[in-house]
Amino acid sequence: MQEFRYRQAKTVESALRANGTYLAGGTTLVDLMKLNVLQPALVVDVNPLPLAQVEALPGGELKGGLRIGAMVRNSDLANHPAVKQNYTVLSEALLSGASPQLRNMATTGGNLLQKTRCYYYRDTNYACNKRQPGSGCPAIDGFNRIHAVLGGSAECVATHPSDMAVAMMALEATVHTQGPGGERAIALKDFYLLPGTTPEKENVLEPGELITHVTLPAPESGTRSHYLKLRDRAQYEFALASAAVVVRLHGRRMERVRIALGGVGTRPWRSAEAERSLEGREATAENFRKAADAAMKDAKPLKYNSFKVELAKKALVRALETAAQTEQRG
């Protein structure tokens, strides 16, 4: 770890003025600082900021939606009564991630900004275009079992690691920020960037911009949801493939469907193709399989991760089957 300066912010305005790297739970940042992957000159501790509340938006939870502060801990969010009842997919995703100890520290804002678990990125003995643009991507021709089959480029094939972000993508969350240029509301589907030729730029945040909260729209009547994560072991492991589904049913007819995949894309992967294939149709195994095929039709597997294509299809089919059978609001 390199030497750095530390400052604690008491207000959002003082955090912005400090112009440093924000520290919340530290479950990603501190690890990467120890590995010298990240070497910030100034770390700004934002833990004292008043951004740790989960609140119903005007109109109540079922009419106005939910506001989630950026400093809300993953464990608190997963176990919040409104989240468990009305946004089941989010609670399930959070509880599938990391360990209880880490969930007690990790924050909503920090989870959205998690860095990839690509072993080449995390080992400074290797080149990495995310760490040093133009240096190369050894994962493309190397050991790429955990890497992306959707959204990759010649510069980067690293997956986004967050479970929470996949669920929030299916819930059509909005990320709210404050920065030198003022406040912004960014739809989560527009928040993450594909690697393209600039894999070091992972999202649309400007330098110094701080996530303050996330909002979720209210669930509609008849909505059901589920998150399914497939991984090498049952606990404390990142997804090889995961699926978050939010379905509104009228009888057995799917009137509205939202689908996001994890573990297979360079960002949390929203599949409009799969959604369109299901809306207006009956909730049947055959239609679920067609949707899974649509979701993965553009997959470009590498040498060691072609199994992810079929694995993601199976995850999506099972998640849809479970959601269609579950009585819940969200």
Tokens 């880490």 map to which residue? 102
CA-CA distance, 232 to 213, in Å (whole number)?
Answer: 32
CA-CA distance, 217 to 171, in Å (whole number)?
Answer: 7
Contacts of 201 (CB under 8 A, 6+ apart): 193
Task: For the chain, state the CA radius of gyration.
Answer: 19
Specify the pLDDT at position 234. 86
Query: What average pLDDT does the segment 130-147 reach?
Result: 98
- Per domain, the residue ranges of the chain are 223-325
pLDDT digits 0-9 by tens, 21-73: 999 999 999 999 999 999 999 999 999 999 999 999 998 667 789 999 999 99
- Is a pLDDT exceeding 90 seen at residue 80? yes
pLDDT digits 0-9 by tens, 162-172: 999 999 999 99
CATH code given to domain 223-325 = 3.30.390.50
Tokens 């999506």 map to which residue? 316
- Is a pLDDT exceeding 50 seen at residue 330? no
Query: What average pLDDT does the segment 4-11 reach?
Result: 97
Contacts of 17 (CB under 8 A, 6+ apart): none
Q: How is residue 12 written in tokens?
A: 């959002």
Specify the pLDDT at position 328. 54
Specify the pLDDT at position 236. 86
Specify the pLDDT at position 182. 97
The answer to whether 215 and 80 have CB atoms below 8 angstroms apart is no
The answer to whether 69 and 108 have CB atoms below 8 angstroms apart is yes
